[in-house]
Amino acid sequence: MAHDATTSRPGYFGRFGGQYVPATLLSALDELEAAFLDARDDPEFNEEYHRLLRDYVGRPSPLYPAPRLSERVGAKVYLKREDLNHTGAHKINNTIGQGLLAKRMGKRRIMAETGAGQHGVATATVAALLGLPCQVYMGVEDVRRQRLNVYRMRLLGAEVIPVEGTSGTLKDACDEAMRAWMGQYEETLYVFGSVAGPHPYPTMVRDFQRVIGDEARRQILDAEGRLPTKLVACVGGGSNAIGLFYAFLEDDVELIGVEAAGLGLQPGQHSASICAGTFGVLDGAATYVIQDEDGQVLPAHSVAAGLDYPAVGPQHADFHDSGRGRYVAVTDEQALEAFRTLTELEGIIPALESAHAVAQVLAMADELTDDDLVIINISGRGDKDCEEVQRLTE
């Protein structure tokens, strides 16, 4: 395994990360790591990746100064507009990278897990773009709840494979996808959706999402001639957050990750792995996990389906331990309120996931000053959530 500048042991971030997988998967992960490191240093690969980000995704995404929100909170606030990407969120940055890697590795198929369907749709989109067959594993309960995304994936040519498991949700889909990958990794690349899972996924997905922060750093220096004081992003697995944070790691900039407190921080009511979880292993990595005293993973809840993951990327867990990042949690109710506030103040309907980041900035209004310069990552657009918000609030 290769060394990462920010880790002490290979594949680890402090005491988090690693490869807690069956031995058969180790060779698949080693092959993937070698291919990724090789691609990362190859100008041709990078040129193709950035060309697709520009011509297909629509990057760079704007960094928008939000005047009415700024006035509301008493500090200058910018929004990084990942909601304007093709398919409406940041996930496509990663699936394009892994899709190109699959081609480069000579894989004939790609596969993915999905919860609410957003990563499944982003993977199916790239499968269509690159002409690769695609299988998406999805819990039966999620298949039922997310019919529109299931239809989208099928339209895009992907095969959606319903997984029974114990709850019929994301955790079962992840378990089954890992199992299925073991039997077919020679032909298939498993496209993982966040900065979680076994090494090299946390590093690789971060590197495919760091374009968010690389752009934002240039954009804010152009616009303001100085660095921001705070970056704020929602954290499910943590890919949009680390994508924004990474370019600012060495700077004097506060990194704020916002988890989902759901209905409150009692067991089974939230998805706040750092704020209310404990050290454990999930999906092949050591990290903070929402679990009971016996290590049984507890169901995660959030009004934002994309935050509904019972663990968190290992590098965030390490930022929390070292104090480099500050992790907080906001409730469903606060997120719903922020969803409305941003829509009314700026004419931008955020994804419910992103509304958590907005809610945190609204909640911090008292501690913000004129000198503060804040960037909020708007990880996705809220069209997908309008029906649910209407149902919950009217």
Ligand X SMILES: *Cc1c(COP(=O)(O)O)cnc(C)c1O
Q: Which residues are catalytic?
A: 91, 113, 379
The contacts of residue 33 (CB under 8 Å, 6+ apart) are: 1, 2, 199, 200, 204
Cβ–Cβ < 8 Å for 356, 307: yes
> Smallest distance from the beta carbon of 187 to ligand X, in angstroms?
27
DSSP state of 250: T
The contacts of residue 10 (CB under 8 Å, 6+ apart) are: 1, 2, 3, 4, 199
> Smallest distance from the beta carbon of 371 to ligand X, in angstroms?
29
Cβ–Cβ < 8 Å for 119, 95: yes
Task: State whether the Cα torsion 24-25-28-33 is positive or negative.
Answer: negative
C-alpha atoms less than 13 angstroms from C-alpha of 135 in its C-beta half-sphere: 19
Q: Which is nearer to ligand X, 76 or 206 (CB)?
A: 206
CA distances from 193 to 70, 71, 150, 361, 374 (A): 32, 36, 17, 26, 27
CA distances from 349 to 19, 153, 209, 302, 383 (A): 38, 24, 22, 18, 7
**How close are the terminal C-alpha atoms of the chain, in Å?**
53
> Smallest distance from the beta carbon of 295 to ligand X, in angstroms?
23
Residues of this chain that interact with ligand X (CB under 6 A) are 89, 91, 118, 194, 234-241, 306-307, 351, 353-354, 379-380
> Smallest distance from the beta carbon of 237 to ligand X, in angstroms?
4
Q: Which is nearer to ligand X, 16 or 185 (CB)?
A: 16
Q: Which is nearer to ligand X, 75 or 342 (CB)?
A: 342
Q: Which is nearer to ligand X, 207 or 372 (CB)?
A: 207
Q: Which is nearer to ligand X, 89 or 101 (CB)?
A: 89
Axis-axis angle for helices 170-182, 23-40 (nearest 10): 90
> Smallest distance from the beta carbon of 207 to ligand X, in angstroms?
14
